Amino acid sequence: MDGTSDFRKKYEEYLNIVNNALDSSLATDDRPGAEIYNAMKYSLAAGGKRLRPVLSLAVCEMLGGSKNDILPFACAIEMIHTYSLIHDDLPAMDNDDYRRGVPSNHKVFGEAMAILAGDALLNKAFELIASHMRKKEGDLTACVKAMEVIASNAGAEGMIRGQTLDINSECCELSEDILEYMHRCKTGALINAAVLAGACIGGAAESEYEALAEYAANIGLAFQIKDDIMDVKGSTDQMGKPSGSDAISGKNTYATVYGLEQATRLLEGSVAAAVDALACFGDKAGFLRDIAFYIRDRNN
């Protein structure tokens, strides 16, 4: 049996579940102003790998949790990821005209609508969670824990902290420590939220939760280092930006701070640590292990 084709099949399965749920989460109405939904849907549909929600589903399922219970949280995380990309692309931020190979949100809908569409997606993430919790019967403890994990990782001490550092550090050199902190926040926090929301809803024991936190931290780091390496090497990066654009624009990346060779060693180290962290789950964690390799080996 080919492990790789098995992985692809399973990933595709999760991807379809996520895409269908996202599609039906933004129901348009015909009242005035409904055009905000077009701007929200444009970026949400421009999809990509859906790594974060796939992680949530996989972790929850590995622990014996139900897909329907984790799905609203998984979609919420993808909405938060999408809003952050829309706002990141704005002229006042990274000023990117393209995202994942298509014109960025503000190039299609204008800056004002892009700001509002981002706001609306962040808000919708929590609408989705609220609506799920209202309908859910029984104990809400796991839901509340998952919501708190998502909110705290997405906010001023998580993802937004990383964006703040990124904005304020352009064209000045960062120490290795602060570079790592920035990326742990900017990319790592939401990957962390995805894995740990899955852990909450799946009902992880304390030791399992800690192992998954270790796994999440390491794949988050691996994800960012790989991005930086691809950016320098000249493949198209995850954003569909011209190659080398981050390095050229004076951004601090693993490749510019450490050099390619050392960055590659760091990547291998993070992937190995992520895989090690899964030891307590044995064979059940096969898919999560494969995700760590996939993050290392991907070309976009």
Contacts of 282 by beta carbon, 8 Å cutoff, 6+ apart: none
Q: Please say which residue, 7 or 126, places its beta carbon nearer to a second copy.
A: 126
Cα angle 286-142-198, degrees, rounded to a multiple of 5: 20
Q: Please say which residue, 53 or 158, places its beta carbon nearer to a second copy.
A: 158
Number of helices and strands in the chain (H, E): 15, 2
272 binds a second copy (CB under 8 A): no
User: Distance between CA atoms of 18 and 6, rounded to whole angstroms?
Assistant: 19
- Token readout for 235 is 């493949």
Q: Please say which residue, 65 or 162, places its beta carbon nearer to a second copy.
A: 162
Q: Please say which residue, 184 or 226, places its beta carbon nearer to a second copy.
A: 184
Contacts of 285 by beta carbon, 8 Å cutoff, 6+ apart: 62, 278
> Using the rule CB under 8 A, which residue among 21, 63, 70, 147 binds a second copy?
147
Closest CB 279 distance from a second copy, rounded Å:
30
Q: Rule CB under 8 A: which of 31-90 touch a second copy?
A: 31-37, 40, 83-84, 87, 90
Closest CB 126 distance from a second copy, rounded Å:
4
Determine the straight-line distance between the first and last CA of the chain, rounded to whole angstroms: 26
- Token readout for 70 is 């984790």
Q: Please say which residue, 40 or 275, places its beta carbon nearer to a second copy.
A: 40
Q: Which amino acid is at 10?
A: K
130 binds a second copy (CB under 8 A): yes
> Using the rule CB under 8 A, which residue among 2, 24, 29, 30 binds a second copy?
29
Q: What is the DSSP letter of 97?
A: S
Q: Which amino acid is at 216?
A: A
Closest CB 111 distance from a second copy, rounded Å:
3
Closest CB 234 distance from a second copy, rounded Å:
28
Q: Rule CB under 8 A: which of 85-124 touch a second copy?
A: 87, 90, 92-93, 110-113, 115-116, 118-120, 122-124
Closest CB 29 distance from a second copy, rounded Å:
7
Q: Is 196 exposed, middle or buried (0-12, 13-18, 19+ CB in 10 A)?
A: buried
CA distances to 129, 204, 210 from 144, rounded to whole Å, are 9, 15, 18
Q: How many CB atoms are located within 10 Å of the residue 44 CB?
A: 24
Residues in the chain, how many? 300
Q: Rule CB under 8 A: which of 191-250 touch a second copy?
A: none
User: Distance between CA atoms of 36 and 48, rounded to whole angstroms?
Assistant: 21
Closest CB 247 distance from a second copy, rounded Å:
20
> Using the rule CB under 8 A, which residue among 7, 69, 100, 127 binds a second copy?
127
Contacts of 269 by beta carbon, 8 Å cutoff, 6+ apart: none
23 binds a second copy (CB under 8 A): no
Q: Rule CB under 8 A: which of 150-179 touch a second copy?
A: 151-152, 154-157, 160-165, 167-168, 178
Contacts of 89 by beta carbon, 8 Å cutoff, 6+ apart: 95, 96, 97, 99, 104, 105, 106, 114
Chain residues in the site for a second copy (CB under 8 A): 29, 31-37, 40, 83-84, 87, 90, 92-93, 110-113, 115-116, 118-120, 122-124, 126-127, 130-131, 133-134, 140, 144-145, 147-148, 151-152, 154-157, 160-165, 167-168, 178, 181-182, 185
